[in-house]
Every structure is written in structure tokens, then in C-alpha cells.
Amino acid sequence: MEQRTHAFNFGDLKTGDLIVHKMHGIGVFEGLKVMPIQGIAAEFIQIKYKDNDRLYLPVYRVHQIQKYSGPASAAMVDKLGGPGWEKTKSKVRSHLRDVAAELLEIYAKRAVSERPPFSPPDADFASFEATFPYSETDDQLRAISDVLRDMQKPHPMDRLICGDVGFGKTEVAMRAAFHAVQNGRQVAIIAPTTVLTFQHLENFKKRFAKWGVDIRGLNRFIPKREITATLKDLRDGKVDVVIGTHRLLSQDVQFKNLGLLIVDEEQRFGVKHKEKLRKLRSGLDTLAMSATPIPRTLNMSLVGIRDLSLINTAPVDRLATRTFVTKFEADVIRKAILSEIGRGGQIYFIHNRIQSIYQLADQLREIVPEARMRVAHGQMEEGELEKCMIEFFHHEIDLLLCTTIVESGMDVASANTMFIDNAQQLGLSQIYQLRGRVGRSKERAYCYLLIPNHRRLEKDAQERLRIIQENSALGSGIRIAQYDLELRGAGDILGEEQAGHVNAIGYELYLELLEEAVHNAKGETPAHPDVEPDINVRIPALIPDTYIADLRIRLAYYKQLSEIESPEDIDRIEDELRDQFGKLPDQVLNLMGLMLIRNVCKDLAVRDLSSGEATITLAFTERTPLPPQRVIELASRANKKYSITPDNRLRVRMNEITWPRIHDELVYLKSLC
């Protein structure tokens, strides 16, 4: 089974939430309901539509629904069987045809663009790899392998590395940069903030020190004299790697032999800078990195126009950051700061108002006079910010009181306590990114979300803080971004025009239709044509509530079972369920088998499969790959196992009605195609 990255965890679905049914539109989820069908218990998903109409969806069709992502209201609920939903989908499909055409144009340009392939990695590259002080995760190794394979092709690489904060994307970039320099190409690394460029500069220089690689920085805090020298040396090919902000996009920056562009936190660049980046990267190997995999950097990666590597696993020994929501209290702050200093660590204190940051500095000096503290913000004098950051990197100060300037890329292993002042004023993804600055080593990290003592928080702010506190597990970035989409709507994440279409049909369905539009534009046909078989078999197939009592967990497993594509998938999920809940009831095994049956029915374009006491009957659509001649041959066999009913269904006599027998029969029919 392909590991799909869902924009949300199905276990988050609660009674009363809006859900999207692909065929019937937006309705209200009312829970699960067990009802007898032909005397056999079956479980259904109950959905309420306009005018109190209800749809009962068999659990084997759970893949047809998605939780609605976006600002929800009761007015959005569709009329069951009305024309409105099809009209809405039609409008979105029309818009997506244009989007798909634009994406394919970019793809086509990349496909015809050629450059000399990079050589395979050699012994020096292996030595460089060996200096990595940690054990790579499997996902990291896979991403590195993807990048090196891309670089050895005759076409320029265009790959996006998605991984949560602190999951090791920078190491992938370092190896790509080293390999490019080995091949005599220059490397440009562009990051959205000055602080992040300082961090990369420190880390790259340290890591590349043994190999005599010339690495320079380019940002507004570097003295003019140094910038002039760097620009000249870039043109002359003396600089191997340059790390900078959007300053790298200026017209006076020219390279002798630029071979690789690395873009960090790509989604944080503005529209104009993105346009310049697009022009710069034309025909150039490009590696983009993002810690917010969904929904910010979507279209091209998720529909296969741009190559995507996911780093989903946390580094070994990494612990989740403990998160607390608390009022601004001197005792709590003093105790936490002294505790961190006591274990040899450092502290970030985030305060996002420059006007009052020095006033807070005085207050903190009174609370913890023992702490060596510096203040940092984006309006500091040239050189002062850099000095401050370097002092923090080198552990010359204990506490950095700063604005959200550290949001991206600060990687200080000894900094493991963070305070975020007035956390209620920050967005969900922003708090998540900030929290990712701590907990980057084997030490347990702590994040304190400070809220005002005497002010009641707005409902949205309370919800944001609740979500960030609940989602402290490693790798929560995808879920945080999804919640962000629900709370804010798609507008300020995807752009207004696109957002209107996303909000009309829900986020996941939008992506599915986009993928469909791209396939159509390429002239490809999907693996499973759009046939949704009705399966009515006399086999109890459900997850009993005596086996999994929690409705949300049961629903999450229904979703997981709906993705079964092979017997190996059944074995894997069976092991998982047995570990957590004990021996599987027959009904659950039957449901797994039903999912396999559904897949073969789709391959055969079966519209309906029904069972009797000792027979099954199949109704095929016109698109079935099973030739009519084969069906006639089967029906004319002497053993009378097969026959054709008056309404043109294929009837198959069977000794017993079990899912393995039905599955074997369908696989046999498929072999005749």
C-alpha cells in the first residue's frame, strides 16, 4: 500500500463536524450506526444533509468522505440529490484545467532542458558523509538517495524536501552542496531571514572545514567591503558556496558556473521574490526545503509535477517538547530559567514587540539577575545582530530575548527552554515553527506559552493554544498546518482565487480533482476508473464496538482499512490491530477482505456485486475490460458454474460464500481480460 500523507488524521473527526462526500457534497457527520441488512449486522456512517435528509454510507465506502477543511458554517450543507454540488464541482474542475495546463507547461520546460549529469559519489563524498555526527533516519537516507539520483540525470533536478522542524533537512542540503562543489559547480543557498543565513553559514563552514571549500555570506548585515569582494569572487568562480537572503536575487549577483540552487523555507518568500526565483531556477538544479509540508507548498509536488521527498521520522533519541499554557508569573519564569541554566542549557524568550522589548529585558533582569542575557531584533544596527546571534550560538549568553526573528532555522542544540510572550497573538504555524527551535538534541525541551494575567482570550486564540498544546508529538507539522487551514480558511495560505475553490469543496477533494486534471492534461487514464461498486454480500463485515469502543479510533481504522490494496496490507494491519486490541474478530477480517474485493471489482469495472445463499452475481459497466465473448464462453461450460441472468448479470455458483472464495473468483475473471 502506498503511504499516503493525509492532510488530517481521520481520528480527529467529531460528531457535528462537516464532512465532504465526493458524490453528495457537504453534510454533517452524526456518528456510526449499526443496522441489519438481510439479517446481517452492518455499520454505516450517518450524514445529515439539508432539510434533515440522511445518508447512510457503508463503512467499506469510507474513502468517499473527507473531513471538511475550512471555516465551517451550517449554511454550507448541501441538499441531498440536488444539482448544487455537481455545479460546484464543475466550476472547480474548470478552474483546475487552467491550473493543470500551467503546471504542465513548467514540467515540459524542465523535461526538455538538459545539462551535463553530475558524476556518481566518490570516496571523498563517502568521507564527507562519515563526518555527520548522528545516525541518519531511513527517510533521510531515502531523501539523500533521491537527490543524488536526480543529480546524475541529464535533466535539472527540481525536488522539494518536506520534513518537520528538526528532522534533518539541512543535512540533505549539505550533501547535495558538497556533491555539486565536487563537480566544479557553484552553489547558492537562499533563506528568508538573515538569522537563518547566519545559522547556515556557521554550520556549513564548520562541516566543510576539512575540504577547503570557499563559503561566503551575502545579506544586509555584511559590510559593503566584504560584499564587493564576494560579488567579484562569485563572478570569477573563486566562491564555491554562497549563503544569503533575497539579496542573492539582486541584479549585481552573477556567477561563473552556478550549478545548484537550494531554497530554504521556500513558502516564506513573497510573490516578487518567488517570481525572481522561478527565473533564476530555469534550467538549474533546484532543491527546495520546507518544514510546513501541507498546505503551503502543494500543487506541483502532490500531483507529481515536482519531485517530492518526505522526511517523516524523527532523529533517534529525540523527545517531544513539553508544552504549557500559563500566565506571566515571575516564579514560574525564574524556576524554569534557572532549571535550564542548571543543566547547562540556554533559553529563548520570544516577545514580538520591539517597542516594549527593552522594558521586558529590565523586568527579566530583576526576575533572574543570574542569567546572561542579550536582546535581538530585526531593527538592530549592522553587525550587532550578527554579534548577538554568534554569542548565543557559542553559548556566551544564557538567555536570548528576541522577536520572532528566530522563527526559521535557528539550530542551537543546547537551547531547550522557550517562553513565548503573548502567545495568543501569534498564528498556529508560527508558534509551531518557534517551538521547533528547542528540543533539537537528546535533552527534553520545554515550551511555555505565556498569556496575559488580566485579559480574557478570544475563542480563536484559546483554540490555537489548545491545538498547539495537544499536538506536541514529534512530526505534528502536517496536522498543525491542517488545523491552520481550518481555523483561517485557505485564503492567506493558498491565495484568494485558489482559496475560493478550496473552501467550496474542501481541501482533500480539491487535491484529488487537481490530480485528476493533471492526469487528463497528460492524456493518462487513472489506475482505477471512476467506478464505485455496490457490494452486498451475506458476510458480517465491520469493527464491533466490543473490539474498539472509541468511535474516533474505530473510524480512523475504517479509513485505514479502506486503503488496503494487497494481502500484505492485510497482514500489516492485522499485526497492528492484534498488538493494540488483541485477537481480531471474524467481522474485522471479513471487512479487510471486502476492501480487496472492492479493488478487483474496480479493475473489472463491476457496478454491483451481490451474494445469495450459494451464488454471487456481477453487473458490469460498459467499461469492463472483460470481453463479452469470454463471458459467453464461461456460461456455455458444461459444469453450469456460470450463467447469465435475464438482466444480463453474470451468476457464479459457489460452494460457500466467504471473502477469500469471492476474491479468488474475481482474480480468475480478471486473468481472462
pTM: 0.65
CA distances 224 to 245, 278, 493, 536, 616, Å, are: 15, 27, 36, 76, 81
pLDDT of residue 180: 98
Q: What single string gives the DSSP state of each residue in 530-553?
A: S---EEE-SS--S--TTT---HHH
pLDDT of residue 483: 65
Cβ 566 vs Cβ 67: under 8 Å: no
In a shared domain, residues 235 and 177: yes
pLDDT of residue 8: 44
In a shared domain, residues 451 and 332: yes
71: confidence class by pLDDT, cuts 50, 70, 90: low
Q: What mean pLDDT do residues 199-208 have?
A: 92
Position with higher pLDDT, 278 vs 428 = 428
Between CA 253 and CA 244 the distance in angstroms is 11
Cβ 248 vs Cβ 273: under 8 Å: no
Q: What is the pLDDT of residues 385-437, one digit of tens each?
A: 878 888 998 899 999 999 998 876 677 889 999 999 999 999 887 888 899 88
- Is the predicted pLDDT of residue 584 greater than 80, yes or no? yes
In a shared domain, residues 228 and 345: no
Q: Under DSSP, is residue 673 helix (H, G, I), strand (E, B) or coil?
A: coil
Please check whether residue 650 lies inside any domain of the structure: yes
pLDDT of residue 481: 64
- Is the predicted pLDDT of residue 60 greater than 50, yes or no? yes
578 burial level (CB within 10 Å; 0-12, 13-18, 19+):
exposed
- 572 Rama class: left (phi>0) / alpha (psi -120 to 50) / beta: alpha
The residue out of 311, 333, 349 marking a domain boundary is 311
Provide, rounded to the nearest whole percent, the portion of the chain with pLDDT above 70. 88
Q: What mean pLDDT do residues 224-237 have?
A: 96
Position with higher pLDDT, 387 vs 204 = 204
Least confident of 20-34, 361-375, 463-477, 659-673: 463-477
pLDDT of residue 513: 84
- Number of domains the chain is built from: 3
Contacts of 260 (CB under 8 A, 6+ apart): 176, 177, 180, 185, 186, 187, 188, 284, 285, 286, 287
Q: For the chain, what is the radius of gyration of the CA atoms?
A: 29
207: confidence class by pLDDT, cuts 50, 70, 90: very high
CA distances 323 to 444, 450, 642, Å, are: 11, 11, 64
Closest CA to 539 of 398, 660, 411: 660
- Is the predicted pLDDT of residue 295 greater than 50, yes or no? no
**E strands along 421-546, which residues?**
446-451, 534-536
The residue segments making up the domain with residue 298 are 123-311
pLDDT of residue 160: 86
Closest CA to 445 of 289, 332, 317: 317
The residue out of 428, 444, 473 marking a domain boundary is 473
Question: Residue 228's Cα: distance from chain center in Å?
Answer: 41
The set of cell numbers assigned to 673 is: 481480460
Please check whether residue 538 lies inside any domain of the structure: no
The set of cell numbers assigned to 659 is: 471473502
Please check whether residue 563 lies inside any domain of the structure: no
pLDDT of residue 147: 98
In a shared domain, residues 300 and 336: no
Between CA 362 and CA 673 the distance in angstroms is 79
Mean residue pLDDT across the chain:
86
In a shared domain, residues 301 and 342: no
Kindly report the CATH number assigned to the domain that includes residue 599: 3.90.1150.50
In a shared domain, residues 306 and 334: no
- Is the predicted pLDDT of residue 496 greater than 60, yes or no? no
In a shared domain, residues 440 and 349: yes
- Is the predicted pLDDT of residue 669 greater than 80, yes or no? yes
Q: What mean pLDDT do residues 263-279 have?
A: 74
121: confidence class by pLDDT, cuts 50, 70, 90: very high
In a shared domain, residues 287 and 326: no
In a shared domain, residues 299 and 338: no
Between CA 607 and CA 621 the distance in angstroms is 6
- Is the predicted pLDDT of residue 293 greater than 70, yes or no? no
How are beta strands 615-620 and 606-611 bridged, if at all? Answer: antiparallel
Position with higher pLDDT, 401 vs 509 = 401
304: confidence class by pLDDT, cuts 50, 70, 90: low
329: confidence class by pLDDT, cuts 50, 70, 90: very high
Between CA 212 and CA 672 the distance in angstroms is 64
In a shared domain, residues 300 and 410: no
Please check whether residue 21 lies inside any domain of the structure: no
Please check whether residue 354 lies inside any domain of the structure: yes
Kindly report the CATH number assigned to the domain that includes residue 454: 3.40.50.300
In a shared domain, residues 255 and 152: yes
- Is the predicted pLDDT of residue 36 greater than 60, yes or no? yes
pLDDT of residue 175: 98
Please check whether residue 145 lies inside any domain of the structure: yes
Please check whether residue 552 lies inside any domain of the structure: no
Q: Which of 268-277, 375-384, 586-595 has the highest mean pLDDT?
A: 586-595
Secondary structure, 3-state, 371-396: CCEEEECCCCCCCHHHHHHHHHHCCC
Q: What mean pLDDT do residues 467-486 have?
A: 69
The residue out of 434, 449, 473 marking a domain boundary is 473
Please check whether residue 468 lies inside any domain of the structure: yes
Q: What is the pLDDT of residues 144-183, one digit of tens each?
A: 999 999 999 998 998 989 887 778 899 999 999 999 999 9
In a shared domain, residues 264 and 369: no
